[in-house]
Amino acid sequence: MRTFFLFVFLHFSAVLLAQDRCITVGYLAGKQPGSPEAKAIAEQGQGKNNTQRQGNDDAVIRIPVVVHVLYNDATQNISETQVRSGIDALNRDFRRKAADTSNTPLRFRSIAADVQIEFYLATADPFGRSTNGIIRKQNSRIAWMADDKMKMAAQGGDNPWNSKSYLNIWVVNLAGGSGYASVPGCAPETDGVVIHYAAFGTLNTTAPFNMGRTVVHEVGHWLGLKHIWGDAECGDDGVDDTPQQGFFTKGCPSGFRSSCNNGTQGDMYMNFMDYTDDACMNLFTAGQRSRMRLQFAEGGWRASLLQSRGLSEPWMQQAALPAAAATLYPNPAQDKVTIQVGQFLIGKKLSLFNSQGLLQNVETITSTLHTLSLAGLKSGVYFLRGEDFLQKFVKL
């Protein structure tokens, strides 16, 4: 039975990976009326006039990123190199540096934009400690739905780092699509983007989502962009310079296509906010650039990121081991010592060091009152170290 379910799940997610680029709309539709998300969705598409006034300066915006890799097996536990390839893909496309920008049709080249937003793995965590910006967590869940459980430690996921200071990206085996995003104004505790592990970055990824553009598209949503067709037949995406378009586009079309009487412009199916294959999308427009950068203007939903210390030098030393997590007696001791520890340390290692820091003995903690023999040890000062404590004692 277990094997059967495993097969169904793996098959399910592999098949859908080949079909559904983005499940953000379905995810947002599932939010309760009155929730922060519902409000955020209602406000999407507004502020069209604002985009003309603001968000047009040239300062490069740098965003600290933390990637939460949640895995069940080694394949899902993607390498640091693959994680970095995802960050590189963001910078490539948000700075319009991809080689395939030359595929942007001539009629759209004058509005194709360098968004001037850059992404970096965090160097300091929310406590100021050193980090490589990648968190790994193994769990028993084989696949995840677009229901935010991957963002909750209590559900086997991993809580976000403060979303006012970091872009949180969860890389998981996502069922139903290659990614989804929260939008500006969503609840801070579930803010961020979720990407299928085989669609993140440019290494070990699966076509047609193999060039890292799933995360480019989802971060577009996270910065306030709607889909190019406005999620309705000939809908409004709230951006002036994207042509009105009938529906989403799948696969890899070529040539001129027209819908909604969009005339000589035609459909912009190569926009990052369509559903086209990775190999066939290549631009954000100047209007989309303004809309995204507007999030960083004073009072904007993403403005707090400009004050983040996530890319600073770490300013805190790693926390010292607390001594109070264990009680040791007697001290001084003669032939044995007993250490009293919490239940959660049973099964964990206990290491004994001499005053020079040389390891004398390692054993496994078997009970909350664990007794250690000191037979054969010279008189002097010793240290007992467990997972979260360090205790000093004297052997007589």
| Residues recognised as catalytic | 218
Shortest approach of Zn ion to residue 274 CB, angstroms?
Answer: 9
Q: Please tell me the count of residues contacting Zn ion according to CB under 5 A.
A: 2
Q: How far is CA 188 from CA 23, 38, 152, 153, in A?
A: 20, 14, 12, 15
> Applying CB under 5 A, does 288 fall inside the site for Zn ion?
no
> Applying CB under 5 A, does 134 fall inside the site for Zn ion?
no
Spell 200-212 as b/e; 16+ CB within 10 A means b. Answer: bbbeebeebbbbb
Query: How far apart, in whole angstroms, are the C-alpha atoms of residue 163 and residue 197?
Result: 21
Shortest approach of Zn ion to residue 2 CB, angstroms?
Answer: 34
User: For the chain, percent helix, then strand, then coil, each to nearest 5?
Assistant: 25, 20, 50
22 vs 328 by CB, closer to Zn ion: 22
Shortest approach of Zn ion to residue 52 CB, angstroms?
Answer: 24
125 vs 218 by CB, closer to Zn ion: 218
Shortest approach of Zn ion to residue 117 CB, angstroms?
Answer: 18
| Chain position whose Cβ is nearest to Zn ion | 22
24 vs 295 by CB, closer to Zn ion: 24
- Please, where are the H alpha helices in the chain? 2-17, 24-29, 36-43, 48-53, 80-94, 106-109, 213-222, 286-294
Shortest approach of Zn ion to residue 69 CB, angstroms?
Answer: 22
Shortest approach of Zn ion to residue 242 CB, angstroms?
Answer: 14
Q: Which of residues 13-52 bind Zn ion (CB under 5 A)?
A: 22, 24
Q: Coil, helix or strand for 65?
A: strand
Strand partners, 354: 382
> Applying CB under 5 A, does 228 fall inside the site for Zn ion?
no
Q: How many CB atoms lie within 10 A of CB 390?
A: 16
Q: What is the DSSP string of 205-273?
A: --TTS-SSHHHHHHHHHHTTPPPTTTTSTT---S-TTSPP-SS---S---S----TT-TTT---TTBTT
* Tokens of residue 192, six digits: 């961020």
122 vs 273 by CB, closer to Zn ion: 273
24 vs 205 by CB, closer to Zn ion: 24
Query: How far apart, in whole angstroms, are the C-alpha atoms of residue 230 and residue 110?
Result: 22
Interface contacts to Zn ion, rule CB under 5 A: 22, 24
